[in-house]
Amino acid sequence: MPPDFFVSAFVTLFVVVDPLGLIPAFLAATEKVPAAARRSIAFNACIIAGLILAGFALAGDWLLWALGITLPAFHIAGGLLLFIVAFDMVLGWRVPRETDTAEQALEERARHVAAFPLATPLMAGPGAITATILLAGQTQGQPIGLAILLAVIALVIGGCLAAFVFASVIRRWIGAMGSMVLSRLLGIILAALAVQYVIDGTRSAFGL
């Protein structure tokens, strides 16, 4: 399981979180902020988002048990939710909406931009939390599986930090068109993963 699970978990979380797609939102949220303060905001946002996702990775199974939700049911619901996220990415609705959220928070002079809107809901939003719980369920509580998942979360969050730190450079390098094309390609991959989650959940629910 470890090699296959690592690849699956990394692709799923990386596509859902979409570090490159968050660059416009980050730049909007930190507009007119000094470079040093911008780096501090990026670091704090990544720490908060990482802790949120790690918490759901470790406590996701318990949360489902406490709510009386079976894993197959969550697979189906989570797959549908991830498909909606993928649908937004393919049609190009996600980035403008995230940028608008960041600009609104800035206009309202939010005191904790790192926590809101960057860490949540942009990085550790419903899609990322759902994906994390689904992946945690696949580990079946095995320590090595959970360790791999936590490592994947750290890698994806590290990717977000790198994207934030070099946001201006990356935006100039790939341009608006490159970012749009990449987001749509990742959306197609996420849509396929979401459908697979629904199929797996249906098979488990009906014993197929």
- Which residues have a Cβ under 8 Å from the Cβ of 202 and sit 6 or more positions away? 72, 76, 208
**Unique residue bearing structure tokens 């570090």:** 19
185 found inside a domain? yes
Q: What is the pLDDT of residue 166?
A: 93
- How many whole angstroms separate alpha carbon 126 and alpha carbon 72? 18
Higher pLDDT, 121 or 143: 143
Q: What is the pLDDT of residue 53?
A: 97
Q: What is the pLDDT of residue 106?
A: 53
Residue 124 is classified by DSSP as: S
Whether the CB-CB separation of 15 and 162 falls below 8 Å is answered with no
Per the structure, the complete domain to which residue 104 belongs is given by 2-201
134 found inside a domain? yes
Q: What is the pLDDT of residue 161?
A: 97
Reported as a pLDDT band with limits 50, 70 and 90, residue 108 is very low
Reported as a pLDDT band with limits 50, 70 and 90, residue 107 is very low
87 found inside a domain? yes
Hey, what are 1's tokens?
């399981």
Whether the CB-CB separation of 21 and 95 falls below 8 Å is answered with yes
208 found inside a domain? no
What percent of the chain clears pLDDT 90, i.e. is strictly above it?
Answer: 32
In angstroms, the first-to-last Cα distance of the chain is 22
Tens of pLDDT, residue by residue over 123-142, are 998 889 989 999 998 888 89
The domain tally of the chain equals 1
117 found inside a domain? yes
Q: What is the pLDDT of residue 105?
A: 53
17 found inside a domain? yes
96 found inside a domain? yes
Reported as a pLDDT band with limits 50, 70 and 90, residue 110 is very low
Q: Is pLDDT above 90 for 153?
A: yes
206 found inside a domain? no
Whether the CB-CB separation of 98 and 22 falls below 8 Å is answered with yes
